[in-house]
Amino acid sequence: MINNMKTTINLMAVDVKTNKSLMEILKSTIELVEKRMDFNEKKG
């Protein structure tokens, strides 16, 4: 039972790390898109 708990907690920790990475990627992507839109507006 305790082993199962430890495994679950470890899996949750990995999940949180993965989610953080995904959030960082999403934020970077959004920033890039915003910069591109700004650039296109200035050009136009």
**Per-residue model confidence (pLDDT) at position 3:** 83
**Per-residue model confidence (pLDDT) at position 27:** 95
Report angle CA 27, 16, 19 to the nearest 5 degrees.
30
What's the whole-model pTM score?
0.56
Question: Over the Cα atoms of the chain, what is R_g?
Answer: 19
Three-class secondary structure assignment of the chain: CHHHHHHHHHHHHHHHHHHHHHHHHHHHHHHHHHHHHHHHHHHC
Instruction: Write down the domain spans for the chain.
Output: 17-43
Residues 1-44: tens digit of each pLDDT: 678 888 888 888 888 888 899 999 999 999 999 999 998 888 87
